[in-house]
């Protein structure tokens, strides 16, 4: 099951957001989509569904959704070391949708929701638009001013953990997870863990789910998806587990049409990905590891770029504020280098000058991105 890099023409002809909105001549490395063809077995399952016109409503009381819950439980036990109960599994369309539902189910307007900074933009939007207050804790901080504010929060009801973290690629270790778990217990807060990037962790790091931390497991909701690791985000399917019957029941009190929405194709593709495509995923991980090394070695030549190699994901977070690009790095790179990176400003206030760089692409395209980046930086006086 080979890993096939798609050409520029093939990517622009598709319907993906990343390439679809990139101007001619610009190489996009912003949106978290991969530049590789979907695994052949997934494409075969989708083609077969098209041939038989298999586009009816999924039966959420049986059939494929129930099978998906069982596949998810078995895969999680095998790879992550904890055992979900298939009876407490919910299938949604997106992880961000599930978070919105969790905010509604477990908090009230004016309550505080802990998130790590920088913060995945849809999470910030969900918290604020639903009338809750985001409480920001810097990624990697286990003591200090950020924790002092968290400990003194009067209305902390929900802790959102993006593990591995987007956009930094940080992986929280057991010490950090136990610190968050202790906070959740002391404040009687629910933990919502987004583990969508958990299957792309590099060998020099170890992933642990907060659901494996015993004293907090019963108050934890874990959602994941095959969207990122198998490049099927547009098929809209996310799977979540609730640590107790009470959490599950409170979530299910929300209207069904608010918390559901996964379609038959997304469910079928996810089952196939998790049951039959690990050989494709292994090749993807191998390619991403090479790309990560290439990116790290390249950035080492530019002393003004503050860059930390990600422990997971195919996303790199870097600070260009000390370069001649300054706080306008995103726009200047698009103009001078014809490359599109995600601006740091969308991940939180005061993050101008930061960018998120998606290196989930072919070696040749990554080399082109880095060549353009380097030329633009040197042309405006950047140090190499």
Task: Answer yes or no: are the C-beta atoms of 118 and 168 closer than 8 Å.
Answer: yes
Please provide the size of the chain in residues: 384
The residues facing 161 across adjacent strands are: 193
Edge-to-edge order in the sheet of strand 133-138: 89-92, 238-242, 220-224, 190-194, 156-162, 112-117, 133-138
Confidence (pLDDT) at 330: 87
DSSP code, position 139? T
DSSP code, position 86? G
Task: Identify the CATH assignment for 47-276 out of 3.40.190.10, 3.40.50.920, 2.160.10.10, 3.40.640.10.
Answer: 3.40.640.10
Burial of 4 (0-12, 13-18, 19+ CB in 10 A): middle
> In the numeric block, which tokens belong to residue 124?
């910030």
Domain ranges of the chain: 8-38+278-379, 47-276
Task: Identify the CATH assignment for 8-38+278-379 out of 1.20.90.10, 3.90.1150.10, 3.40.50.300, 3.40.50.1000.
Answer: 3.90.1150.10
Confidence (pLDDT) at 112: 97
- Cis bond leading into 88, ω under 30°? no
10-residue mean pLDDT profile of the chain (384 residues): values are 93 93 95 97 97 89 89 95 94 97 98 97 96 95 80 93 98 96 96 98 96 95 98 97 98 95 95 98 98 97 94 97 89 92 94 96 98 90 65
Residue 25 gets the label, from left (phi > 0), alpha (psi -120 to 50) or beta, of left
Confidence (pLDDT) at 63: 80
Same CATH fold assignment for domains 8-38+278-379 and 47-276? no
User: pLDDT tens across 104-152, in order?
Assistant: 999 999 999 999 999 999 999 999 999 999 999 999 887 677 888 888 8
Confidence (pLDDT) at 382: 66
Inter-axis angle of helices 278-299 and 363-379, nearest 10:
20
Burial 78-101 (b: 16+ CB within 10 A, else e): eebebebebebbbbbbbbbbbbbb
Q: What percent of the chain has pLDDT over 90?
A: 85
Q: Please give the helix or strand (H or E) that residue 332 lies within, else none.
A: helix 329-336
Burial of 35 (0-12, 13-18, 19+ CB in 10 A): buried
Confidence (pLDDT) at 384: 60
Alpha carbons 359 and 74: distance in angstroms, whole number: 30
> In the numeric block, which tokens belong to residue 275?
């049951």
Burial of 297 (0-12, 13-18, 19+ CB in 10 A): exposed
């Amino acid at each position: 099951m080979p890993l096939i890099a798609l050409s520029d023409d093939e990517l622009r002809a598709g319907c993906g957001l990343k390439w679809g909105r990139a101007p001619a001549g610009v190489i996009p490395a912003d949106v978290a989509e991969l530049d590789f063809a979907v695994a052949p077995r997934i494409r075969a399952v989708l083609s077969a569904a098209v041939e038989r016109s298999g586009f009816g409503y999924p039966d959420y009381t049986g059939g494929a959704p129930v099978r998906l819950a069982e596949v998810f439980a078995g895969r999680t036990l095998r790879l992550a070391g904890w055992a979900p109960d298939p009876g407490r599994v919910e299938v949604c369309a997106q992880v961000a949708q599930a978070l919105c539902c969790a905010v509604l189910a477990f908090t009230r307007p004016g309550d505080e929701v802990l998130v790590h900074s920088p913060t995945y933009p849809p999470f910030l939007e969900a918290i604020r638009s639903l009338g809750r207050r985001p409480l920001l804790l810097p990624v990697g901080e286990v003591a200090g001013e950020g924790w002092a504010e968290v400990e003194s929060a009067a209305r902390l009801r929900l802790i959102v953990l993006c593990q591995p973290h987007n956009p930094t690629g940080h992986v929280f270790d057991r010490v950090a997870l136990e610190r968050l778990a202790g906070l959740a217990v002391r404040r009687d807060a629910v933990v919502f863990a987004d583990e969508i990037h958990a299957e792309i962790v590099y060998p020099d790091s170890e992933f642990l789910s907060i659901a494996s931390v015993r004293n907090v497991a019963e108050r934890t909701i874990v959602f994941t998806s095959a969207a990122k690791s198998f490049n099927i985000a547009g098929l809209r399917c996310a799977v979540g587990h609730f640590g107790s019957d009470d959490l599950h029941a409170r979530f299910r009190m929300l209207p069904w049409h608010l918390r559901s929405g996964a379609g038959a194709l997304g469910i079928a593709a996810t089952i196939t990905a998790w049951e039959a495509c690990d050989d494709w995923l292994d090749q993807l991980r191998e390619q991403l590891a090479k790309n990560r090394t290439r990116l790290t070695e390249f950035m080492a030549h530019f002393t003004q770029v503050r860059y930390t190699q990600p422990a997971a994901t195919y996303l790199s977070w870097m600070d260009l504020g000390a370069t001649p690009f300054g706080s306008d790095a995103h726009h200047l790179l698009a103009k001078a280098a014809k490359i599109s990176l995600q601006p740091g400003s969308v991940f939180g206030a005061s993050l101008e000058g930061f960018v998120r760089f998606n290196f989930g692409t072919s070696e040749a395209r990554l080399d082109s991105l880095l060549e353009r980046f380097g030329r633009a930086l040197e042309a405006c006086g950047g140090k190499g």
